[in-house]
Structure 1
Amino acid sequence: MTGEADKTALDMVYAASTETELAAAYAAWANSYDTETAALGYCLPFVIAAWVARHVAKGALPLLDAGCGTGLSGPYLRALGYDEIEGLDLSDEMLDLARARGGYTALTRAALGGPLPWANGHFAAAFSTGVFTAGHAPASSLDELARITRPGGFVIFTVRDVVLEAGGFRPKFAALELARKWRPVEESPPFRAFAVAEPEVLVQAFVFEVL
């Protein structure tokens, strides 16, 4: 059963309507984020490795963890042979925890939805989980993720069911395909983001190859 503290933290995050509010919500949650989300069975930072390993060649570098949070994904992808992983997040507090975890070669404070500080085609792949959800990064973030991923590379991410249509993600997918920026490779069926609690929180995983 979800505890009151867990619900308060989640409510603060989902209720955020600006980048400043979202950063403040994650700053307040940072120190207890890992233990509380683990208790809820939050699995996205780990299951994303399955899609990365399926589509991205072992040893491809560098990769970008876009919205890396406390850095849960990095160490597991390094164990799978991805030795150069960079991370970005809008929360300094989250980045401090990711840095201490040691799975990343570089960490950058940046917000998805705006310009990103990398050249065209810098990354072999970009992946993101738990970021495209209510009150978080907009569908327009995908323009920059496609730009900074090299041709033949992949953009891999999850989208919460409640924003997939309402947040304009489907039209953005189609617009980038029409503009010959990427092509669709894989779309998962909806699945639970939390293995223990929050059964109504469903996401889908998407894989696009950059052209």
Structure 2
Amino acid sequence: MAGRHTAARFEYDIRKNLTPNDIADMFNDYAEDYEQEYLNIGLRSHIVVGDFMAKVVPVEDRSRVRVLDVGAGTGLLGNELKSLGFTHIDALDPAEKMLEVSRRRDIYQRLICAFMNKNRNDDIDTDYYDYIVASAAFNEGLVPCEAFQEMIRVVKPGGRITFTVPTKFINNSDDLRNRLRPLIDQLAREGVWEVTSVALEDGELSYTHGPGVMFSLKVLVSETIL
């Protein structure tokens, strides 16, 4: 059925009452329109993450490192990384039709249709990826704070988890508002990772998302339990 949960795209209070399957359905139903809709509001989070990856990964290493794009959607971030010389990129997203759109771009070596949460995904080996990236994925109903447990497992010690999140997304989500920064700081104190955070001004992520932050978490352990 077309337009399932349409109102929840930008109404975060509605999203709070949706199941994970509802969220996937919502994105499936506007997979073909998603990219244009967000580019029309000047979405740049994929460029912000791409620019940071270009700074931390030398050109000569980009064709060999393994990258997992979490909440890959239609492949905006993957396409940005590909243009920078990254070639071993996998996509993870819970919306199959979003992944079908990304498949047309011939960006990703592997498409994994799944949510990123605390549950172990046995299709991904421990310490497999050098980098995990995400843009516009930390949002109500998408990537929760508990997902750090699984991200830490699948990224190699010494690798990074890099993502952007608008301040309004943090404020609109009970999970992100209450847990994101405290959990990042707690795991830093425990020696799980080293934290780089970059404040982003209004307009750096999009015309409408307001200010935000980019986190890059250098993982120091193989696994942890949250």
TM-score range with shorter-chain normalisation? 0.7 to 0.9
- Count of residues in correspondence between the two structures: 202
The match for 1:115 among 92, 115, 120 is 120
How is 1:175-194 mapped onto 2 (pairs within 5 angstroms)?
175-184=186-195, 186-191=196-201, 192=203, 194=205
Q: Deviations over 1:46-101 (max 9, x none)?
A: 22101111223432421010110001121221221211000100000100001111
Q: Tell me what 1:202 maps to.
A: 211
State the TM-score, normalizing by the size of structure 1.
0.86
Matched, 1:102 2:106: yes
Deviation at 1:159, TM superposition (A): 2.2
Give structure 2 stretches of 5+ with no counterpart: 1-5, 221-226
Q: Tell me what 1:4 maps to.
A: none
Is the 1:69–1:94 Cα contact (8 Å) retained in structure 2? yes
Q: Distance in 2 between matches of 1:136 and 1:14?
A: 14
Is the 1:23–1:91 Cα contact (8 Å) retained in structure 2? yes
Q: Distance in 2 between matches of 1:14 and 1:42?
A: 22
Q: Percent identity?
A: 24
Other structure's SS at 1:33 match: helix
User: CA, structure 1 residues 9+77, in 2 after alignment: closer, same or farther (shift >3 Å)?
Assistant: same
Is the 1:14–1:135 Cα contact (8 Å) retained in structure 2? no
Other structure's SS at 1:68 match: coil
2:40 aligned partner, one-letter code: A
The match for 1:63 among 56, 59, 67 is 67
How is 1:1-211 mapped onto 2 (pairs within 5 angstroms)?
8=7, 10-11=9-10, 15-17=14-16, 18-57=19-58, 58-59=61-62, 60-113=64-117, 114-116=119-121, 117-162=123-168, 163=170, 166-184=177-195, 186-191=196-201, 192=203, 194-196=205-207, 198=208, 200-211=209-220
Q: Distance in 2 between matches of 1:210 and 1:148?
A: 10
Q: Distance in 2 between matches of 1:76 and 1:129?
A: 11
Is the 1:62–1:124 Cα contact (8 Å) retained in structure 2? yes
1:27 aligned partner, one-letter code: N
Deviation at 1:145, TM superposition (A): 1.1
Q: Give me the CA root mean square deviation.
A: 2.2
